Structure 1
Amino acid sequence: MQISVVRPSDLGPAEVTEWRQMQESQPRLQNPFLAPEFALAVGRSRPTARVAVLQDGPKIVGFFPYEVRHRVIGVPIGSGISDCQGLVHRPGLDWDPVRLLKACGLAVWEFDHLLADQAPFAPYQARVAGSPIIDLSKGYQSYVDDRMTDGNLIRQALRKQRRMVRELGEERFEWEDRSEGVMLALRRWKSDQYRRTQQYDRFRTPWIQAVLTELSQSSAADCRAVVSTLYAGDQPVAAHLGLRSRSVLAYWFPAYDVDLARHSAGILLCLRMAEAGAADGIEHIDLGKSEALYKSRLTNDEVPVAEGRVGRSWAVAGARRAQFALARSVRTGAVGARLRSGGTGRVLRGIRARLHER
């Protein structure tokens, strides 16, 4: 097997077509985060984005999109906003992860939402968890009937919907809402949420802004961002910016007006998205890995995803493990600052030359 590394923008129409065909041939690879359009959009905003192209003779057999950090550390392409990661390949392909890293010039490749069924990466998985999904393959009504027998979340949402209509006006749902005002409201609500929960604001990160803008303007069937909005009267009460393919909707950036939280508009929005999505070819909504209670009550299935790292250099892998372990307990302060500027940095600098010589 030959492996070459290119920038996403270096892929020609033939390569992009091959990539799409590999996705279409395997339902588990049809997540929009694995689409070539996602890699291309990230590549235009992230200079360190790369794609390893795997070939068996003249035939392309796989694509491995990734980003480079600190010259020798690899992460999934779009890391921080990608909820599905892996190698896109022809059915039945086997590969050597260590050889793949060597061809990419990487000491380590770290992942946190890897498709857990990618067998060559299995020995490197540290933790596997279920990413909850709303399975709509049997239609929306079948999904609702199933959830009605397991708790009363849907009944509660519909009851609150009637109250919302009485207090605020008639409900209206837009599956693909292109209103500029809605996008501004969604960004404001989401930024407020990030501030309340002390998370970094993705909407204020330039490269993420650029990727979201490009994908929102895309018309690609296999990867485009869509905004869905729930209104009460003329007032938006909840909105969601998602990434969709033909059959999968990734639950990406949900937000709602906290002043109207009593109406549970976020739950109602999920239900309306499921109904409209099922009618538009969506077979499942990937809610994303988390322990949020509402996700556990909406889901009727899950996709296993893994965290871990493939290491070609045990020194770098060990340094990264130590860094992440300490980061869990020390988020700020002098110790964290010394770690970021010293310890692991010296290890990485000391090993780069040897890695690139191999």
Structure 2
Amino acid sequence: MNVRSFDALTVGELDTWEELRAGNPALDSPYFHPGFSAAVHAAGRTVHVAVGDGVFVPHHRDGRLLRPVGWPGADFQGPILAAGAPFRPLDLLGNGAGGYAFDHLIEQAPGFERWVVTRRPSPYLDVSGGLDGYLGRASKSGKDNMGQARRRLARAARELGEVRFEADSCDAEALARVIELKRAQYAATGAQDYFAEPERVRLLESLLKTRDPGFGGVLSTVHAGPRLLAAHFGLRSGGVLHWWFPVYDPELAKLSPGWILLRELVAAAPALGVSRIDLGRGEDEYKRRAKTGESVVCQGIVTRNPLRRAAVTALARAREMARNGRLPRSR
């Protein structure tokens, strides 16, 4: 395959990329839109694209390892190609690249079966028909939590002041507050700080300004009086909204502000032209309760080196056992 920098692609090649994506339902996530790769590249992290006959694979080079574009913040990954078209993942290797590591590969990606180590669910909400449509499909738990959110929204109005929801805000200060709250959450939980890299902050700032009809960032906020209850920054492409960076004011946790925001966003879905909200990989309790369905994403590595593959496999399976509470017994 021919590998080039993203900004070396021609207009015709970008048009072909989008045509291939539009014709493959498995690629309807915003992460597969060329606009995402363009934004990541412009923010300061070089995006390379492996180009073949009817295939595009945007990625980053990390020493001898290739990573999907946007890693570690891309919740869906895979080659852009026509539905049903064959693909040889080993063709990505060469020119010093010894492996292609993935952690959110869509299950429909062809040719990767032998390289998959683990699989995990990626929940979503079918929000066709807005709140009424969602409630008709939701589990009892989802309905109960949405009902509680409605009551707590009324309580927030009584205690804090008028409630204001904005589904698609362009407020740069609100985005800065989202990043601030997210970084505080990372610090409190000991999670790696995604925004420690300045280009990732620039990426969100750029996406907030992107208003292409087919792709862009979406900032949603809920205020009660002067207080920001909760906010979310995500990606939008067509009828799909990807739930990416949700935050809430921890001092107001008793009001379940995250559920209030999610309920308002589901209700606003028809006006936004959204029919599905992808929540991203994970078994978080709120995702389990809110989901109406789930897809599957895969973790693994494409490599010719059996030792590298064995190491990745062992690490992935150890994490899976720890996540499920099944730690290996000592001998």
Aligned to 1:266: 258
Query: Helix, strand or coil: the match of 1:119?
Result: coil
Shift of 1:281: 1.6
Check conservation: 2:232, 2:244, Cα contact below 8 A: yes
Q: Residues 282, 316 of structure 1: CA spacing in aligned structure 2 closer, same or farther, 3 A cutoff?
A: same
Quick check: 1:255 aligned with 2:247? yes
Q: Residues 27, 325 of structure 1: CA spacing in aligned structure 2 closer, same or farther, 3 A cutoff?
A: closer
Aligned to 1:229: 221
Quick check: 1:143 aligned with 2:134? yes
Unaligned runs of 5+ in 1: 56-60, 330-358
Choose from 187, 192, 196 the match for 1:204.
Answer: 196
Q: Provide the rounded CA distance (Å) in 2 between the counterparts of 1:235 and 1:138.
A: 30
Instruction: Write out aligned runs for 1:291-306 (5 A).
Output: 291-306=283-298
Which protein is bigger by CA-based radius of gyration?
1
Instruction: Write out aligned runs for 1:312-323 (5 A).
Output: 312-318=304-310, 320=312
Aligned residues: 320
Quick check: 1:112 aligned with 2:103? yes
Check conservation: 1:140, 1:278, Cα contact below 8 A: no
Aligned to 1:189: 181
Note the alpha carbon deviations across 1:184-212, whole angstroms, 9 max, x for none: 32122111111101122222311211221
Q: Residues 285, 101 of structure 1: CA spacing in aligned structure 2 closer, same or farther, 3 A cutoff?
A: same
Instruction: Write out aligned runs for 1:1-358 (5 A).
Output: 3-46=1-44, 48-55=46-53, 61-70=54-63, 72-102=64-94, 105-147=96-138, 149-150=140-141, 152-318=144-310, 320=312
Aligned to 2:328: none
Query: Helix, strand or coil: the match of 1:37?
Result: helix
Query: Helix, strand or coil: the match of 1:133?
Result: strand
Query: Helix, strand or coil: the match of 1:239?
Result: strand
TM-score by length of 1: 0.83
Aligned to 1:346: none
TM-score by length of 2: 0.90
Moved more, 118-127 or 139-148: 139-148
Check conservation: 1:147, 1:154, Cα contact below 8 A: no
Check conservation: 1:108, 1:317, Cα contact below 8 A: no
Shift of 1:321: 5.1
Tell me the amino acid that sits aligned with residue 231 of structure 1: H
Shift of 1:48: 4.6
Note the alpha carbon deviations across 1:130-153, whole angstroms, 9 max, x for none: 100011235431112333744511
Runs (4 or more) in structure 1 with deviation over 6 Å come to 322-329
Shift of 1:44: 2.9
Q: Provide the rounded CA distance (Å) in 1 between the counterparts of 2:41 and 2:162.
A: 43
Q: Residues 45, 146 of structure 1: CA spacing in aligned structure 2 closer, same or farther, 3 A cutoff?
A: closer
Note the alpha carbon deviations across 1:61-114, whole angstroms, 9 max, x for none: 1111111111x2111111111101000102221011112323x64211111100
Q: Provide the rounded CA distance (Å) in 2 between the counterparts of 1:322 and 1:154.
A: 40
Aligned to 1:351: none
Note the alpha carbon deviations across 1:229-282, whole angstroms, 9 max, x for none: 001123221110111111111111111111111111111101111221233221
Shift of 1:31: 0.7
Query: Helix, strand or coil: the match of 1:261?
Result: helix
CA RMSD of aligned residues (A): 2.2
Q: Provide the rounded CA distance (Å) in 1 between the counterparts of 2:22 and 2:213.
A: 12
Unaligned runs of 5+ in 2: 322-331
Shift of 1:180: 3.0
Shift of 1:7: 0.6
Q: Residues 83, 107 of structure 1: CA spacing in aligned structure 2 closer, same or farther, 3 A cutoff?
A: same
